[in-house]
Amino acid sequence: MDLSERDLQRYKSLLMKQQKELLNANETSQQAEEIIELDQARIGRLSRMDAMQVQAMSRETGRRRRLHLVAIEAALKRIENHEYGDCFECAEHINPGRLTANPAVTLCIICAQALE
């Protein structure tokens, strides 16, 4: 079953909404990823360790967010090129429920399970 123009617009809207949310989150989280000041006179060792852990978690979250943004941009490009909604492995149509849950997904559920 090919996706209708209405379905494609709905998925495009979902992708653009996610993209906007991720870009907004990127802007607000950049301060947490900045370099930690290691001045022992200003903060104690445990506070520095805690700050460094928070920084590492923020960096990883930022990295994952950037990867998701790349996947969203690729999905938007597939919509433009009329290549959206087909599994990269088997070329079968991806279930609409799966696309609604994650519109940037590239594999049908069977191929995704096979890769795990």
Q: Is 94's pLDDT higher than 80?
A: yes
| Predicted TM-score (pTM) of this structure | 0.78
Mean pLDDT of 11-38: 80
Mean pLDDT of 38-59: 73
Distance separating alpha carbons of residues 59 and 23, to the nearest angstrom: 15
pLDDT at 50: 81
Nearest to 84 by CA among 104, 70, 65, 98: 104
Nearest to 103 by CA among 65, 62, 73, 81: 73
pLDDT at 45: 64
Ordered by start, the domain boundaries in the chain are: 5-84
Mean pLDDT of 31-52: 64
